[in-house]
Amino acid sequence: METAWMDKIERVVISADEIARRVRDLGREIAADYRGGAGRDPRRRPLLVVGILKGAMPFMADLIRALDLAIEYDFMAVSSYGNGTSPGEVRILKDLDCAIGGRDVLLVEDIVDTGHTLHHLLAGLSARGPATLRVCTLLDKPHRREVEVTVDYVGFVLPENLFVVGYGLDYAEVYRNLPFVAILKPECIRDG
């Protein structure tokens, strides 16, 4: 592939085809879980899929189109303070537009790393009384976890401590639009 950023890429870790296949499978699995089975009241409002900006955007866009299911969607934006005194404390920059009491809610993330972001989000959203609250992430780095969080649907587990970009994941806000997940060449990553 000849594109302007290819010379910055060390290696593609997950190809666009692999992502597409996994997203299709996740879509089938999630739709089956919410499609009125398991005692779900058919009068309940549609599943609310919530993307966590900015990283989740490409994954979310593909995932919702893989759901053969009536859904609504919304976004939240959060920022992590990430300092020593309050590790991973999360500030909500954009909240949901609607109440979620009694609703089925599925959070969509691009990556779960230490777990702090998700932990804070889940605590805050649980307090609003959703009927169910689940999490789907494209990537999981379980070996990096600092707080325990339940992730219900995982696209790919990253086997090593890789710093990856693409398909929503950035380095200094760039590379989010790569159609695959990749590692940058070391000379493209500045310390600090």
H-type alpha helices, the chain = 16-34, 57-65, 116-126
In the complex with ligand PRP, which residue's Cβ is closer, 104 or 109?
109
Q: How far is CA 54 from the centre of its chain?
A: 9
Interacting span for ligand PRP (CB under 6 A) from 26-34, 41-49, 59-67, 116-124? 116-124
AA identity, residue 179: P
AA identity, residue 70: A
In the complex with ligand PRP, which residue's Cβ is closer, 41 or 191?
191
In the complex with ligand PRP, which residue's Cβ is closer, 104 or 110?
110
Tokens representing 116 are: 């702090």
Beta pairing partners, 51: 75, 108
> Does residue 113 have an active-site annotation?
yes
CB distance 169 to 110 below 8 Å: yes
Rounded to the nearest 5°, which phi and psi values hold at 21?
Answer: -65, -45
Active-site choice (33, 62, 113, 140): 113
In the complex with ligand PRP, which residue's Cβ is closer, 55 or 130?
55
Q: How far is the CB of 67 from ligand PRP (least distance, A)?
A: 20
Which x/- pattern, by CB under 6 A, does the window 166-185 give for ligand PRP? ----x---------------
Tokens representing 64 are: 């919702």
Q: How far is the CB of 43 from ligand PRP (least distance, A)?
A: 33
Tokens representing 118 are: 């998700």
| Of positions 115, 130, 155, 166, contacts ligand PRP by CB under 6 A | 115
Q: What residues contact 183, with CB distance under 8 A and at least 6 apart?
A: 9, 10, 11, 13, 162, 163, 164, 165
- How is residue 143 annotated by DSSP? G
Number of residues in contact with ligand PRP under rule CB under 6 A: 17
Considering only residues 31 through 70, tell me which ones interact with ligand PRP, judged by CB under 6 A.
52-55
Tell which phi-psi region holds residue 4, choosing left (phi > 0), alpha (psi between -120 and 50) or beta. alpha
Which x/- pattern, by CB under 6 A, does the window 72-111 give for ligand PRP? --------x-------x--------------------xxx
By annotation, the residues acting in catalysis are 113
Q: Which residues bind ligand PRP (CB under 6 A)?
A: 52-55, 80, 88, 109-118, 170
